[in-house]
């Protein structure tokens, strides 16, 4: 499991030359560089909208964040990085969903969900008034449910657009069938494979040979399910499962561009279901890092009922995380409204917005994390500067991730409680504790 991530060093994007396809009066694109999230960029329409940044020189970045956007659940983003303006020769992540699931199956009250892990579009702003979307370069395909009516159109592909690349028929003649329920809870339709003599689902995952990856998915299968490359070199075999859907994880070193799900030794009328697939590259602490001077984000959202796009703050830079995750998390909402009771017994006063606050406790931090990450971050940010905190960057529980991501600031600067040898040995991870509280800024 990936540890909590801090997105705080936005200096290159904040100093970049920004341009946009359009900007409404009073809502310039420069507002994306303003730490005050209430100052927003707004387009004048929906068609062919983009944001471009000239970062001044080739710089490293591995995360993109949008704060307080108005994109609909159907919106997608193209994230491009290049050595030339508008280029995609460094990064080319197309049709990335503007939203992840915000509430998972089994996490909601009955009837609350609209469809596929999200609320009804008409209720989006009421439930989620201050949305944040963070996109990491170490995520090749984010967890996506099969939610299309035909079962094929909403499988995950290499560009995270939730659409299948294709069904391969090299091992038989696959026939798709829709399966409802059958262990996949809720009323979402699921895809299965009924094959004469076998069949497989091949996914052009954009893998790099020799790189390490982790694929997580839920499945049911009449035969052992093999996760393999294009040439059926096996990465892992999972037992047949005719009951409730189970989650499986497979780590491997890629031997081809492709990723394939194939029922091992499948015969006539064999079948399998694969759902909620995510593919992540396993690298160093920061994962894959892009190095480019130019950044482009294209926005596609024809379903947006506002008639324009709006973003309050934007981050393009490096995230940081600790080698060891937090040992305790405490979250609460804060209301500083000054309420008095009138003589008539009624509440009266100044009502202020409710905001989120998250406290994290870290133990056993090593020397680098203590001094060259946390203390350095505190020195640069102080109490007044805002940053993004993502406590559960790959949680399988949608609600947990959604409610524990915020744009905020330190309530007090971190102080170490350290009782060992001052931590001057790089291998020392003994007895150091730090308590961080980050409070949402509006």
pLDDT band for 102, please (50, 70, 90 cuts). Answer: confident
What pLDDT shows up at residue 407? 97
CATH dotted code for 139-282: 2.60.120.260
Q: What is the mean pLDDT of residues 392-404?
A: 81
Question: Do 323-440 and 139-282 fall under one CATH topology?
Answer: no
**How far is the C-alpha of 395 from the C-alpha of 404, rounded, in Å?**
10
What pLDDT shows up at residue 430? 53
> What 3-state class would DSSP assign to 330?
strand
Bridge pairing between strands 347-350 and 132-136: unpaired
CATH dotted code for 323-440: 2.40.30
**How far is the C-alpha of 158 from the C-alpha of 96, rounded, in Å?**
10
**How far is the C-alpha of 15 from the C-alpha of 33, rounded, in Å?**
8
Q: What is the mean pLDDT of residues 5-14?
A: 96
What pLDDT shows up at residue 368? 76
Q: Of 407, 437, 404, 389, whose CA–CA distance to 313 is shortest? A: 407
Q: Name the DSSP class of 157.
A: -
Q: Name the DSSP class of 297.
A: E
pLDDT band for 204, please (50, 70, 90 cuts). Answer: low
**How far is the C-alpha of 39 from the C-alpha of 424, rounded, in Å?**
44
What pLDDT shows up at residue 354? 93
pLDDT tens digits for 408-433? 999 999 887 766 555 455 555 455 78
Q: Is the dihedral of CA 376, 407, 353, 394 positive or negative?
A: negative
Q: Where are the domains of the chain?
A: 139-282, 323-440
Judge contact between 432 and 365, C-beta under 8 A.
yes
Say if residue 167 is exposed, middle or buried (CB neighbours under 10 Å; 0-12, 13-18, 19+). middle
pLDDT band for 92, please (50, 70, 90 cuts). Answer: confident
Which has more pLDDT, 18 or 233? 18
Judge contact between 120 and 114, C-beta under 8 A.
yes
Q: Which two tokens stand for residue 245?
A: 């859907």
Q: Name the DSSP class of 371.
A: I
Q: What is the mean pLDDT of residues 188-196?
A: 37
pLDDT tens digits for 239-254? 988 777 788 888 888 8
Q: What is the mean pLDDT of residues 296-318?
A: 96
What pLDDT shows up at residue 289? 82
Q: Which two tokens stand for residue 380?
A: 């640069």
pLDDT tens digits for 138-159? 766 555 444 333 222 233 333 3
**How far is the C-alpha of 406 from the C-alpha of 4, rounded, in Å?**
12
Whether 217 has a pLDDT exceeding 60, the answer reads: yes
Q: Name the DSSP class of 207.
A: -
Beginning with the edge strand found earlier in the chain, give each strand of the sheet holding 272-281 in spatial order. 139-144, 272-281, 212-221, 241-253
- Neighbouring residues of 18: CB distance < 8 A, sequence distance ≥ 6: 29, 30, 32, 33, 51, 52, 53
What pLDDT shows up at residue 170? 33
Q: What is the mean pLDDT of residues 327-342?
A: 92
């Amino acid at each position: 499991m990936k540890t909590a991530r801090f997105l705080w060093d936005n200096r290159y994007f904040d100093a970049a030359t920004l341009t946009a396809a359009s900007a409404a009066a009073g809502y310039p694109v420069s507002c994306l560089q303003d730490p005050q999230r209430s100052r927003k960029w707004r387009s004048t329409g929906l068609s062919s909208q983009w944001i471009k940044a000239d970062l001044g020189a080739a710089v490293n970045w591995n995360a993109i964040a949008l704060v307080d956007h108005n994109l609909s659940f159907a919106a997608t983003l193209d994230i491009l990085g290049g050595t030339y303006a508008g280029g995609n020769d460094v990064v080319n992540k197309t049709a990335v969903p503007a939203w992840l699931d915000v509430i998972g199956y089994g996490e909601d009250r009955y009837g609350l969900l609209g469809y596929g892990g999200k609320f009804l579009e008409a209720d989006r702003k009421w439930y989620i008034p201050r949305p944040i979307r963070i996109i990491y370069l170490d995520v090749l395909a984010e967890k996506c449910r099969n939610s299309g009516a035909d079962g094929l159109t909403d499988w995950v592909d290499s560009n995270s657009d939730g659409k299948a690349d294709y069904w391969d028929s090299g091992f038989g003649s696959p026939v798709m069938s829709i399966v409802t329920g059958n262990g996949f809870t809720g009323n979402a339709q699921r895809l299965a494979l009924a094959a004469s003599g076998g069949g497989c689902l091949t996914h052009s995952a954009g893998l790099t040979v020799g790189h390490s990856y982790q694929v997580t998915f839920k499945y049911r299968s009449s035969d052992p399910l093999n996760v393999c490359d294009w040439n059926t070199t096996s990465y892992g075999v999972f037992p047949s499962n005719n009951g409730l859907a189970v989650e499986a994880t497979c780590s491997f070193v890629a031997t081809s561009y492709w990723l394939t799900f194939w029922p091992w030794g499948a015969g006539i009328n064999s079948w399998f279901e694969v759902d909620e697939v995510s593919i992540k590259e396993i690298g160093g602490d920061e994962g894959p890092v892009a190095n480019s001077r130019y950044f482009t984000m294209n926005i596609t959202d024809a379903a947006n009922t506002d008639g324009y796009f709006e973003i309050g703050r934007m981050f393009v830079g490096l995230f940081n995380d600790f080698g060891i995750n937090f040992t305790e998390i405490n979250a609460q909402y804060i209301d500083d409204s000054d309420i008095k009771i009138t003589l008539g017994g009624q509440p009266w006063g100044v009502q202020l917005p409710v905001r989120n606050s998250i406290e994290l406790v870290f133990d056993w931090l090593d020397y680098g994390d203590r001094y060259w990450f946390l203390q350095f971050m505190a020195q640069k940010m102080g109490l007044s500067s805002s940053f993004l905190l993502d406590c559960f960057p790959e949680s399988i529980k949608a609600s947990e991730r959604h409610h524990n991501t915020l744009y905020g600031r330190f309530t007090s600067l971190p102080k170490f409680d350290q009782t060992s040898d001052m931590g001057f040995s790089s291998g020392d991870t003994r007895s150091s504790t730090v308590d961080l509280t980050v409070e949402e800024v509006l």
